[in-house]
Structure 1
Amino acid sequence: MSPIGRDQALALRRGFRLQWEPRQGCHVLLYPEGMIKLNASAGLILERVDGQRSVAAIIDHLTESFPGVPGIDEDVLAFLEVAHAQFWIE
């Protein structure tokens, strides 16, 4: 599997849906076989995975939203690699 490129525009895999779940108090990723409860960071990243925005644009937006937090770009890339390996995104 090749690494996620910053110029790629990723999307949720067909059959997956991201939504805020008030009872869980977090974002969840729904799919036909179940549900994945996401932490706050994962929810913020996946909210921006829309098939239009590049990985670089997602990183830029989060860097602007959380100034002074070191390593956001590496964290976003690492999470997207995991999400891709888990077949949540394509």
Structure 2
Amino acid sequence: MTAGDVPLLPRGVRWRWDAVRGTHVLLGPERALMLDEIGHAVIAEVDGTTDLAGIAARLAERYGAPEEVIREDVAEFLGSLVATRLVEIRP
């Protein structure tokens, strides 16, 4: 993923709190991905309009971390979700 890529949740994928598991989950067709606190923070920023750089900047500010490090981590995380089709890049 590049800094200008805009991630979005594709049709049929949503995230929510799973009371049974006691964690946030990303739900897709025939799959569920349990999210830890960091994964949840990233997915909560995916709105279909904010690019990767913007997501990283907000997270870096919120957590007081270097933006470049956050951008790399977010790109890796979202890239893995793109590979599993739980996240898409806006055309």
TM-score, normalised to structure 1, is: 0.85
2:26 touches 2:35 (CA, 8 Å); kept in 1? yes
Aligned residue among 58, 71, 74 for 1:73: 71
Report the AA paired with residue 38 of structure 1.
L
CA distance in 1, matches of 2:77, 2:59: 13
Aligned residue among 7, 10, 13 for 1:13: 10
The CA RMSD measured in Å over matched residues stands at 1.6
- Higher strand proportion, which one? 2
TM-score, normalised to structure 2, is: 0.84
Q: Secondary structure at the match of 2:7?
A: coil
Unaligned runs of 5+ in 2: none
Aligned residue among 42, 46, 50 for 1:49: 46
- Higher helix proportion, which one? 2
Hey, what does 1:40 align to over in structure 2? 37
- Shift of the 72–32 alpha-carbon distance from structure 1 to 2, 3 Å rule, reads same
Hey, what does 2:84 align to over in structure 1? 86
Hey, what does 2:59 align to over in structure 1? 62
Greater shift after overlay, 22-31 or 43-52? 22-31
Report the AA paired with residue 20 of structure 1.
W
Identity of aligned residues (%): 32
CA distance in 1, matches of 2:46, 2:65: 23
Q: How many residues of Structure 1 are paired with residues of Structure 2 in the alignment?
A: 87
